[in-house]
Structure 1
Amino acid sequence: MTRPQVLPVTALIDDVIALLPGARVVLEAPPGAGKSTVLPLALLDAEVLANQRILLLQPRRLAAISIANFLASQRGEAVGQSIGYHIRGEAKFSNDTRLLIVTEGMFTQYIQNDPELTGVGLVIFDEFHERNLTSDLGLAMALESANLRNDLSLLIMSATLPAQAIADWLGDAQVLTSEGRQYPVDISYHPVTSGQQWLQQLPSVIEKAMHMAQLGVLVFVPGQREIKKLCAQFEHTPNWDVLPLHRQVPLTEQKRIFSPNPARRRLVIATNIAETSLTIPNIDVVVDSGRERQAQFYPQHGITRLLTRRISKASAMQRAGRAGRLGPGCCMRLWAKNEEHGMREFQAPDLETADLTSLLLECRRWGAAPAQLKFFSQPNNANLAAADKLLNQLGISHDHGGLTAMGAKIAEFGAEPRVARILAYASEQSSGVRVTAAWLVAQIEQPGPAEAFPADVSRLVPAARQRFQYWCRRLQVEPAQPDATWVAELLLWGYSDRIAQQRRSGDGYLLSYGGGAVFHHEDTRSRSAWLLVIDMMLSEQQTDAIIGAAIALNESDLNHPAVHKEHRTEVRWQGPQQRLQAVQVEAIGAIVLSEKLAPTAISSADRLAALTRFVSNQVALHGLEYFTLNDEARQWLARVNLYQAKLKPEHWPNFDIATLVNELERWATPYWQHIDSLQKIKAWNPCTALQARLTYTQHNELNQACPINLEVPSGRQVKIDYCAQQPVVAVKLQEMFGEPISPTVCHGQTTITIDLLSPAGRLLQRTGDLASFWSNAYQHVKKEMKGRYPKHPWPDDPRQAQATHKTKRQLK
């Protein structure tokens, strides 16, 4: 094993210590530099931090445990003495522990309970480039704590994020940069061949890597589905251990991966959980698929979709570094080198893409709005709005943003808000209810592969069994078998917005928020008329969500106090003519329980509002083509669009679809006073309403620049067609005699295309360059047409001839 003191970060130890206490330091150190191992040990012995605790934050539980064990072994101690760890559901530390490795989520609870971080001299944010919600939130809160104490130091460590940008954002931070990777990694490219999918080609690249590897191979793929498939394909390879690594692998099995076994080579197939923090022993070749599964929260649905996307350049660098942690290695990339130009520099932070409900709850528990905290990236406003709505529905927040009394109690559980709401209700009930709540919440937090909520506690997966025991302790009840009669009652406290009704067709369900959900085609569970959906996921292949954990409901369950039934009057378009009618509705969100026609008449204001809502959606989807546009309307719109595109006049109204939709009520509804059906609105011609958006002066400017007609040399007025790609006029060739060049509109900026017609009105030539036509093509046309139309003039020099629509006899 490499001795820690020779790692590159050793050169920066004195610099870091010299900045303490009260410093804000950004340390940029590539993989393998020793920032998670050598530096914490050195700081532990620094005199400036004597008698103070150091908190080292890690994004993953296994990383926290592994680092704690490694560092303790370096000091010849057992974990829990001077070095310890604290992760969810497991802790090994004592009053003598001075270096405590904690997960980022656990740090949030530490600082919430003690905002001044009493006794803590330094907080180290390791692997900050991962930009998890808990790391961004923890740093924002720690910055406020540092304002309360001038001796609290913050050290932000990253392998790939731009250190100077972070330091500039912090305002008064020092930047320290470590040397590069400790061992060289040879990178080769293996782009997917034409006609193949990347997953089809990956096994052949893995086979090459296994032939090349002296120790072992680490393969990066997006998710569990790919891991399962590849493990099945390679599990019988002689003298190889094939090991999966993802978040659902129990910690005991994950630990096996990090225990060296020199007798057998290993093939570890992992998600991006293996990108940072942990050194997997006996790996000298990495195979990188170049893809990852990214969670994208959809606020309108309140659920998350997993998307398979290309990784960033920073992630590619991290993955390659896994091959060079303990010696020279190789990285085989499943893409072409020139494809890297299109890869983004960094992964999008969770603040921009994730569900922010837990973050918003912690902010309110902290006593600040997200806008009042200092985040390196700003939280997504739409996701914050969805989070605020859910917290209000759960009774956690007031409308003005503060926590209710129940909300304060819920926040203390330090759990996801939905499950914390269940726990808060159960905490005031009998012991049987509390046991059942602990059993349910444990499985929501640690779902197993079997059916949802098996009644026998012994059938829980180990991680869920551990959480069950933890929540029993928190709820002050002895573990026992749950009471299934309380399942719906408890789950509805946290998931009342996830009620689903089976569609009449029997194909899937309508959820109360308005979205659809279906069981996976291989799911054999019975289909009940009513469901409570606990877990669902949007896939890339279909619009309806895939139902995960769910329970059947009875209609009597819909009277639960957490279920919000509303009585509202809706106006709808009904009947053959699609006329507006008022309907009294009892509903749970989008699920209509009952309805009847309202006795009251619809007011003019309600009718116009309903028209505006409906038409806005239609115009947004179909444009103005939704209406019955006559040629006058089409030509006028085309003239306006050309004029604005070419001349860009100031202070003119916009006529793009987005603007017309947003301003529909202003320009259109005054013309709808007598429209009372969708049939009539579809037949409406918007031309007059659109023209009214221009002033008298603007109309004159339009007519001068883009006239309706063109006066051709023969003296006739010929209509210009503005709906073509370029303005077009169709005119008999003889009527253009004497015109040397093509005419224009938009004050000379746009040339009119001319369709030159025969005396019989048939197209002879289309040209945008009349001068060129006279010089070249005209003689060929004359030769062909003169014999066919001898009564019409065909002069040798059309530029000097008299324009006419008459025959030669008529001219005489």
Structure 2
Amino acid sequence: MTTEQVLPVTALIDDVIAWLPQAPVVLEAPPGAGKSTALPLALLQANIYGQRRILLLQPRRLAAISIAHYLAEQLGQQVGDDVGYHIRGAAKFHANTKLLILTEGMFTQYIQRDPELADVGLVIFDEFHERNLASDLGLAMALDAISLRSDLGLLIMSATLPAQQIANWLGHCKVLTSSGRQHPVEVSYHPPSAAQTWLQAMPGVIRQAMQKAQQGVLVFVPGQREINALMAQFNHLEDWQVSALHRNVPQAEQRALFTAKADSKKRLVFATNIAETSVTIPHIDVVVDSGRERQAQFYPQHGITRLVTRRITKASATQRAGRAGRLGPGACLRVWSQNDDHGLRDYQVPELETADLTSFLLECRKWGAEPQQMMFLTPPQSAHLRAAHTLLTELTICQPSGALTSQGRDISQYPTEPRLARMLNAVAHESTATKATAAWLMAQIEQGAASEHFPQPLAHLSPAAKQRFQFWCRQLSVTTATIQPELAASLLLWAFPDRVAQRRGQSDRYLLSYGGGATIHRADTRPRWPWLLAVDLMLSETQADAIIGAALPLSEADLEHPALNIEQRTEVRWQGPQQRLQAVNVTALGAIRLREAPLSNAISAAQRLQALSQYVTEQMSAAGLAWFKLNEQAKQWLARYQLYLDCVRPEGWPSLATDELADTLSEWAEPYWLHIDNLRDLQQWNVVEALQGRLSYAQQQSLAQACPTHVVAPSGRSVAIDYCAQQPTIAIKLQEMFGEPVSPTICHGKVILTIDLLSPAGRLLQRTGDLASFWDNAYEHVKKEMRGRYPKHPWPDDPRQAQATHKTKRHLA
């Protein structure tokens, strides 16, 4: 019996076999349970699927390769026999391979080619809690396949995401829970001092960890930049084997980390979250966790994905700490305060909410469905879907309706993102040199072409980029690689038609054809070309404009490229001192205006009204009705009307909500604009006249009765109500309220008027919303103070019984 056979998950193997494929099985198994190794191996050896294959999906290429090698060793075989793998750019399996471990992205290609998965008996989604785009999409497709094949098994495994949550979403489902196999891990906290950043604190914490370690230290940091910075401080150590683990480390070196035998040197491994799950790095008993990771965040307004450094989740912190206890007791040193634990999210945010969904949407449509028609545990972000649809339409991959174009069907067959696939499709029937140039560009962009030296000569490319160049040469049937750099701009315009940029004057800033702004960093030594193609754009936290990375100069002749949509359109604008409407013929590339010429033709009434409505809508979105120059009478009417709506809540009355008014301008406002042809007159327009016109005679009478403009004071004088005050208010001399026991009301008694009680000279004596209380409490004090100052006016002892008047005592007599 092997070590894996006694892992906790082996106790559930019979249950898994019994339930599959009559229902999907969700297995919750913590780190160390053996779900990625012992369970697939047991299912393989049970031989319950006959000639049909088991697919084990992994989120990372490194995990797929490592697990395949490990399981093959357990069987005493070479990888590629009963156990094989298939990742991007590398595969080891044959037709009779029974257990195939592949990345989730490769599974999408498999199921697109064979929607029924005819030669597959079971699909296992491992590490589903990571919630990658490919895993969510692959699972949605697999659920569709099950509707075609009831004998297809589906096993979803998660280390931290609660299994019951997935089961509730799936409906008919079996939940199994395994214990983990975890040695005790001592967790301690080492927050940076007030004068340090977390990165500055890392070296000191790492040295503490090295003193604790009996075998090795695994250090988690967000990305390659931090790895390089820290490794530079520890590379000189003779007694330690210092290594890096991130996506750009060659696969052979990655593999060596997981197969290394114990030797006299301890291990110090700097890794991203690539080392968080699935596979165990041997000879590690101490973990240093920075508590940070790099996440992709898509910004639909720019069409740019930016890598953001963020705090990890509680689930990730648990996973990382567990790396120290996989093979024996260990320790985890966290570079944050224990109090910060409370601020960590429980689980990772699904990529469906944060990522660029262009490739995702294309895969859905290639599958034959819109995302809304498929099953997703988390709905895709709607704004990102809209941006994806816009780009796929601009690239002529999809029609505005969403259906794939004939060109789009060809483009969807290429194993890369839609932009680059469009370029490859454009060169499919071109010369060998053109294809080789496309492969050369592909290799650099896939490996991250942010350099100001883009594109680089083939000899200067990294080994990984050269490998991708050879891959694309094979895909394009290129045998002799003659590269023509002068073709680069014309080829890349097929992929980035929305990234044409025009320089703004003599500055470092550019206007992009999609409407966004971009800039070349002031330290960048490249020329400030009048026109350029921005292949790579980055976002900075300190400025609104994107920063231009890899780019190519363009000539004006390049603007005639067939991928670019140069359009002629007529625009109407407000020009001149009075801002009158002028028609202009515009030749434009998206947001970039290439040429303009005024049109002498008269503006039609429909164009004028449309322009007025568009302008008012824009102004009202920022200022509401206050954009119009309202006189005092208009302000009072609006306040009265809103008070009536709030208090009486009548049914069917027009709303004053800004968005509703803006949406219905053609109904209530445009009939009054027939003779308005400039913005000055528009702003002076009496908006209240139109708003009043929306009310029937009966409604106007109801408003006047409930919210009158004036009230009759006890003195018999009519007093205006100020509806623009914080509360409806009247200002009146105190003597005119004699004989009135309580405050007057409006809105059918629902609103009490505030009263500004004035002296005989018209100065404010008291503001009250409760006249009865004023008579009982404050009047006596006011009377004593005012009687000597205004002796000619009445100051009775009992104001409730006195005669209301605005006259002096002599006039009354």
Q: 1:684 to 1:484 in 2, by over 3 A?
A: same
1:493-535 CA distances to partner (integer Å, 9 max, x unpaired)? 1111211111124231111111111123433222111111112
Once the two structures are TM-superposed, the CA of residue 6 in structure 1 deviates from its matched residue by: 3.5
Q: 1:487 to 1:201 in 2, by over 3 A?
A: same
Say whether the 8 Å CA contact 1:731–1:755 is kept in structure 2: yes
Partner of 2:131: 131
Secondary structure at the counterpart of residue 49 of structure 1? coil
Say whether the 8 Å CA contact 1:455–1:484 is kept in structure 2: no
Say whether the 8 Å CA contact 2:20–2:154 is kept in structure 1: no
Alignment of 1:342-353 (within 5 A): 344-353=345-354
Residue 53 of structure 2 is aligned to residue 53 of structure 1: yes
CA distance in 2, matches of 1:124, 1:271: 25
Partner of 1:35: 35
1:626-683 CA distances to partner (integer Å, 9 max, x unpaired)? 2112222222222333333344333233222222222233222222111111222222
Partner of 1:359: 360
Residue 683 of structure 2 is aligned to residue 682 of structure 1: yes
Alignment of 1:412-491 (within 5 A): 412-447=413-448, 450-478=451-479, 480-491=481-492
Higher alpha-carbon deviation: 139-148 or 319-328: 319-328
Q: 1:212 to 1:632 in 2, by over 3 A?
A: farther
Say whether the 8 Å CA contact 2:287–2:321 is kept in structure 1: yes
1:29 aligned partner, one-letter code: A
Higher alpha-carbon deviation: 322-331 or 202-211: 202-211
Say whether the 8 Å CA contact 1:220–1:288 is kept in structure 2: yes
Alignment of 1:399-410 (within 5 A): 399-410=400-411
CA distance in 1, matches of 2:696, 2:197: 58
Q: 1:465 to 1:770 in 2, by over 3 A?
A: farther
Please report the RMSD computed on the Cα atoms of aligned residues, expressed in angstroms: 3.1
Higher alpha-carbon deviation: 350-359 or 7-16: 350-359
1:559-611 CA distances to partner (integer Å, 9 max, x unpaired)? 11111111111111122221111111111111111111123221110111111
1:268-316 CA distances to partner (integer Å, 9 max, x unpaired)? 5554444433434455555555555443333343333445555545444
Q: 1:778 to 1:247 in 2, by over 3 A?
A: farther
Residue 537 of structure 2 is aligned to residue 536 of structure 1: yes
Partner of 1:577: 578
Secondary structure at the counterpart of residue 379 of structure 1? coil
Q: 1:164 to 1:694 in 2, by over 3 A?
A: farther
TM-score, structure 1 length as denominator? 0.91
Partner of 1:75: 75
1:760-787 CA distances to partner (integer Å, 9 max, x unpaired)? 2222333334444334333333333333
CA distance in 2, matches of 1:47, 1:223: 42
1:99-138 CA distances to partner (integer Å, 9 max, x unpaired)? 1111111111111222222321111111222222211221
Alignment of 1:73-472 (within 5 A): 73-180=73-180, 182-185=182-185, 218=218, 220=220, 222-223=222-223, 245-252=245-252, 254-255=254-255, 258=258, 270-284=271-285, 286=287, 291-329=292-330, 344-447=345-448, 450-472=451-473
Secondary structure at the counterpart of residue 496 of structure 2? helix
Q: 1:636 to 1:237 in 2, by over 3 A?
A: farther
Say whether the 8 Å CA contact 2:21–2:154 is kept in structure 1: no
Secondary structure at the counterpart of residue 84 of structure 1? strand
Say whether the 8 Å CA contact 2:452–2:551 is kept in structure 1: no
1:125 aligned partner, one-letter code: F
Say whether the 8 Å CA contact 2:519–2:546 is kept in structure 1: yes
Secondary structure at the counterpart of residue 45 of structure 1? helix
Partner of 2:567: 566
Say whether the 8 Å CA contact 2:736–2:805 is kept in structure 1: yes
Partner of 2:669: 668
Alignment of 1:619-638 (within 5 A): 619-638=620-639
2:691 aligned partner, one-letter code: L
Say whether the 8 Å CA contact 1:571–1:583 is kept in structure 2: yes
Say whether the 8 Å CA contact 1:457–1:481 is kept in structure 2: no
Partner of 1:697: 698
Once the two structures are TM-superposed, the CA of residue 552 in structure 1 deviates from its matched residue by: 0.7
CA distance in 1, matches of 2:394, 2:222: 34
Once the two structures are TM-superposed, the CA of residue 369 in structure 1 deviates from its matched residue by: 3.1
Say whether the 8 Å CA contact 1:306–1:537 is kept in structure 2: no
1:425 aligned partner, one-letter code: A
Once the two structures are TM-superposed, the CA of residue 448 in structure 1 deviates from its matched residue by: 5.3
Say whether the 8 Å CA contact 1:181–1:321 is kept in structure 2: no
Say whether the 8 Å CA contact 2:89–2:471 is kept in structure 1: yes
Secondary structure at the counterpart of residue 143 of structure 1? helix
Q: 1:599 to 1:20 in 2, by over 3 A?
A: same
Residue 35 of structure 2 is aligned to residue 14 of structure 1: no
CA distance in 1, matches of 2:139, 2:264: 43
Partner of 2:712: 711
Q: 1:658 to 1:224 in 2, by over 3 A?
A: farther
Secondary structure at the counterpart of residue 138 of structure 2? helix
CA distance in 1, matches of 2:653, 2:289: 54
Higher alpha-carbon deviation: 436-445 or 267-276: 267-276
Partner of 1:648: 649
Alignment of 1:750-761 (within 5 A): 750-761=751-762
Q: 1:695 to 1:353 in 2, by over 3 A?
A: farther
Q: 1:654 to 1:27 in 2, by over 3 A?
A: farther
1:426-476 CA distances to partner (integer Å, 9 max, x unpaired)? 221111111111010111111256444344212112221111010011111
CA distance in 1, matches of 2:786, 2:204: 69
1:69 aligned partner, one-letter code: H
Q: 1:777 to 1:357 in 2, by over 3 A?
A: same
Residue 737 of structure 2 is aligned to residue 731 of structure 1: no
CA distance in 2, matches of 1:665, 1:241: 75
Say whether the 8 Å CA contact 1:448–1:461 is kept in structure 2: no
Q: 1:243 to 1:804 in 2, by over 3 A?
A: farther
CA distance in 1, matches of 2:427, 2:74: 45
Say whether the 8 Å CA contact 1:520–1:547 is kept in structure 2: yes
Say whether the 8 Å CA contact 1:7–1:182 is kept in structure 2: no
Partner of 1:62: 62
1:27 aligned partner, one-letter code: L
Secondary structure at the counterpart of residue 472 of structure 2? helix
Once the two structures are TM-superposed, the CA of residue 793 in structure 1 deviates from its matched residue by: 3.0
CA distance in 1, matches of 2:215, 2:706: 76
Say whether the 8 Å CA contact 1:108–1:134 is kept in structure 2: yes
Secondary structure at the counterpart of residue 374 of structure 1? coil
Higher alpha-carbon deviation: 789-798 or 610-619: 789-798
2:598 aligned partner, one-letter code: L
1:713 aligned partner, one-letter code: P
Q: 1:10 to 1:809 in 2, by over 3 A?
A: farther
Secondary structure at the counterpart of residue 599 of structure 1? coil
1:759 aligned partner, one-letter code: P
Q: 1:200 to 1:587 in 2, by over 3 A?
A: same
1:90 aligned partner, one-letter code: A
Secondary structure at the counterpart of residue 25 of structure 2? strand
2:620 aligned partner, one-letter code: V
CA distance in 1, matches of 2:748, 2:285: 70
2:82 aligned partner, one-letter code: S
Secondary structure at the counterpart of residue 71 of structure 1? helix
Question: Which runs of 5 or more structure 2 residues have no equivalent in the other structure?
Answer: none
Q: 1:806 to 1:565 in 2, by over 3 A?
A: same
2:64 aligned partner, one-letter code: A
Q: 1:784 to 1:191 in 2, by over 3 A?
A: farther
Once the two structures are TM-superposed, the CA of residue 337 in structure 1 deviates from its matched residue by: 6.3
CA distance in 1, matches of 2:691, 2:790: 46
Say whether the 8 Å CA contact 1:456–1:481 is kept in structure 2: no
CA distance in 1, matches of 2:232, 2:793: 84
CA distance in 2, matches of 1:353, 1:431: 39
Secondary structure at the counterpart of residue 48 of structure 2? helix
Secondary structure at the counterpart of residue 377 of structure 2? coil
Once the two structures are TM-superposed, the CA of residue 555 in structure 1 deviates from its matched residue by: 0.9
